[in-house]
Amino acid sequence: MQKLFQKAKLFLGKQPLFLLLLPLFFIYSGYNELFGFLSIKFILSNLAVILVCIFTCLLLFYKLLRDFTKASVFTFIISLYCLVFGYLHDSLKQLFPQSFFVKFTFVIPAFFSLFLIALIVLKKRKKPFTELFLFLNLLFIVLLLSEIPNSVKRYQLDKSVDNLIDFRFNAYNDYQPTKALPDSLKPDIYFLLFDAMASSKSILQNFGRNNYQLDTFLKQKGFYVIPKGKANYNWTIHSLSTTFNMEYLPPWIAPVMNDGKAYFWGSASILNNSLFRILKQEGYSINSYQPISFDNKDWPGNSYFSSFKKYHYSFKTLPGRIYRDVFWNYNRIDVDFIKERQFKIISNRNNEKKAYLDTTIDLIKQSCSTSGKQKFIYGHFMIPHDPYTFDSTGNVKAPEQTIIKRKEDDADAYYSQLVYAGNVIRELVAYIQTNNKKNTIIIVAGDHGYRSSESEKAGYNFENFNAFYFPDKDYAKLYDSVSPVNTFRIVLNKSFGSNLPILKDSSILVTVQKETIKNKEKINSR
């Protein structure tokens, strides 16, 4: 046993296994963050890219230093810094917010200076690196092994919550209609959701702009426009989960915007929720024309949040952060080939957004021609939410016109796209009322209001648009401050006599914390 131990120690003291163990740990720990949501192909492809970069650097530094052990150490230093840069930079920004020391203009030259010093020290060093090799190899072996219980924990957590942000289905369990309607009397329901659409009252008070012409149109079409409504959450994932589950988020869920897990769980809840279960029980066909959820069979394009997968690893690294934070700094980069690349990416993004919008409009219209059993149609429109691709008439802007350099430009661009959203609403409402059956409920809403740092401080990022059309024009169950959590409680109570209690209308700020699960809260079993 002692000989085996000595051989292992000798081997670990000579071989730079840490050059392989470092990327393995990086990939494995990143997988645990989104446990169960990343494919093997995606994981292996990212690992392969990192390994190619590391061993290319090893070859280059070997030619420079003419010593394999020195080249291994210097390659490790460079690789470690590149892979953990995101964590280091975020930590610096928390310690020194708005400081010069967190700017790339300081961080990059400072660390390159340190690398140069390390290179000089390595070239002059005569002693072997046996102890360092042994330490680094053992360290990353331990770190890798420590991720195994983390995987078990993540597996148990995902299983306990069914990979949903809310698995309780309280409204579904409480649903007890007092009357059994024949299918012929059950209304079709159209839910047209316009992302970040603020109420006309909010627009007038906070922008000094008038959007009441939309309210007037809808009232002429028989709608009841909610005058004082506010969203329950100022973030799409949390707002929509609450809307469809007709319930605030569970106490063990922290409403945070920076945990990718929340987007996966939340987007799954948009497809599996109390409302959809109730409507299926009532014999409804359900179509969810939205780009929010992953693996949505009703949506022909990619998910809006696909970047959370695509850039999950790269945005943790130095090259990824340079691309994310520096490449898109329009105000400071004035290099022709970079500008050309930026504009090409923006143009592709704008064209994709237009294609998604046109697709959603077409799908909504096509649904009006379907006959048969009663239907629920959910259309999610990514306007007036940024990026501000459209002008007020719906024309796609040139790439340079979509670049926002001042907060005043942001408000103007938002308002223009808001006006265009109003035109889309007019078109669809008129089409549905003309081409779908007369017994059709239409709800036009925003998931939250206009979102900016100023709106968050002032609170008007919650002030969303909300309007209801009931075929019988009986709006006795509505009130002036209906929030999304009560939207479908009211519809079900009116249409099916379900007697679901109306919850208190509250607004909850989504924060910049990073952990969705509150460890101090117990997750109730099903």
252 and 326 together in one domain: yes
Report the range of poorest mean pLDDT among 95-99, 272-276, 293-297: 95-99
144 and 184 together in one domain: no
In the structure encoding, which two tokens stand for residue 166, read together?
A: 């809310």
The DSSP-derived string for 295-362 is: T-TT--S--TTTHHHHTTTGGGSHHHHIIIIITT-TTT---HHHHHHHHHHHHHHHHHHHHHHHHHHH
100 and 180 together in one domain: no
pLDDT in tens, 429-439: 999 999 999 99
Contact criterion met (CB below 8 Å) for 384 and 196: yes
Domain boundary among 158, 188, 204: 158
Can you tell me the distance from the alpha carbon of 394 to that of 379, in angstroms, rounded to the nearest whole number? Answer: 18
224 inside domain? yes
94 and 176 together in one domain: no
440-456 per-residue burial string, b: 16 or more CB within 10 A, e: under 16:
bbbbbbbbbbbbbeebe
112 and 239 together in one domain: no
DSSP secondary structure code for residue 253 in this structure: B
In this model, does residue 111 exceed pLDDT 80? Answer: yes
522 inside domain? no
* CATH number of the domain within which 479 lies: 3.40.720.10
In this model, does residue 187 exceed pLDDT 60? Answer: yes
Query: Can you give 403-454 as a three-state secondary structure string?
Result: CCCCHHHHHHHHHHHHHHHHHHHHHHHHHHHHHCCCCEEEEEEECCCCCCHH
Can you tell me the distance from the alpha carbon of 201 to that of 496, in angstroms, rounded to the nearest whole number? Answer: 32
pLDDT in tens, 99-109: 888 888 888 88
Q: State the Cα angle at 35 between 30 and 41, rounded to 5°.
A: 75
311 inside domain? no
Total of domains in the chain: 2
Can you tell me the distance from the alpha carbon of 143 to that of 25, in angstroms, rounded to the nearest whole number? Answer: 7
Q: In this predicted structure, what is the pLDDT of residue 248?
A: 97
> Among 263, 258, 315, 264, which residue's Cα sits nearest to residue 94?
258
67 and 90 together in one domain: yes
Domain boundary among 158, 186, 205: 158
Mean pLDDT across 183-207: 94
Q: Rounded to 5 degrees, what are φ and ψ at 328? A: -95, 15
Q: In this predicted structure, what is the pLDDT of residue 47?
A: 97
Q: In this predicted structure, what is the pLDDT of residue 105?
A: 85
301 inside domain? no
Can you tell me the distance from the alpha carbon of 413 to that of 419, in angstroms, rounded to the nearest whole number? Answer: 10
| Strands lying side by side in the sheet with 375-381 | 224-225, 466-469, 440-446, 188-194, 375-381, 285-289
Can you tell me the distance from the alpha carbon of 294 to that of 94, in angstroms, rounded to the nearest whole number? Answer: 32
pLDDT in tens, 433-479: 999 999 999 999 999 999 876 766 666 689 999 999 999 999 999 99
Q: In this predicted structure, what is the pLDDT of residue 456?
A: 65
363 inside domain? yes
Q: In this predicted structure, what is the pLDDT of residue 524?
A: 67
180 inside domain? yes
pLDDT in tens, 287-334: 999 999 988 999 998 888 888 888 999 999 999 999 888 877 765 667
330 inside domain? yes
pLDDT in tens, 342-391: 888 889 999 999 999 999 999 999 999 988 889 999 999 999 999 999 99
Domain that holds residue 205: 165-294+321-496
Can you tell me the distance from the alpha carbon of 306 to that of 232, in angstroms, rounded to the nearest whole number? Answer: 25
Can you tell me the distance from the alpha carbon of 233 to that of 253, in angstroms, rounded to the nearest whole number? Answer: 13
142 and 174 together in one domain: no
Report the range of poorest mean pLDDT among 31-35, 71-75, 235-239, 500-504: 31-35
Query: Which tops the pLDDT comparison, 160 or 465?
Result: 465
Q: In this predicted structure, what is the pLDDT of residue 330?
A: 60
Can you tell me the distance from the alpha carbon of 50 to that of 79, in angstroms, rounded to the nearest whole number? Answer: 9
Helix (H, G, I), strand (E, B) or coil at 140: helix
Q: In this predicted structure, what is the pLDDT of residue 340?
A: 85
Tokens 């460079």 belong to residue: 78
Q: In this predicted structure, what is the pLDDT of residue 462?
A: 93
144 and 64 together in one domain: yes
Query: How many CB atoms neighbour CB 1 within 10 A?
Result: 5
By CB atoms closer than 10 A (0-12, 13-18, 19+), residue 426 is: middle
Q: In this predicted structure, what is the pLDDT of residue 290?
A: 96
pTM above 0.85, yes or no: yes
pLDDT bin (cut points 50, 70, 90) of residue 520 is: low
Q: In this predicted structure, what is the pLDDT of residue 519?
A: 65
DSSP secondary structure code for residue 167 in this structure: -
In this model, does residue 414 exceed pLDDT 80? Answer: yes
101 and 18 together in one domain: yes
238 and 290 together in one domain: yes
105 and 185 together in one domain: no
109 and 180 together in one domain: no
Can you tell me the distance from the alpha carbon of 58 to that of 327, in angstroms, rounded to the nearest whole number? Answer: 27
pLDDT in tens, 120-142: 888 888 888 999 999 999 999 99
In this model, does residue 516 exceed pLDDT 80? Answer: no
Q: Which residue type does 157 have?
A: L
Query: Which tops the pLDDT comparison, 521 or 89?
Result: 89
306 inside domain? no
Contact criterion met (CB below 8 Å) for 266 and 240: yes
In this model, does residue 153 exceed pLDDT 90? Answer: no
Mean pLDDT across 497-504: 96
In this model, does residue 169 exceed pLDDT 70? Answer: yes
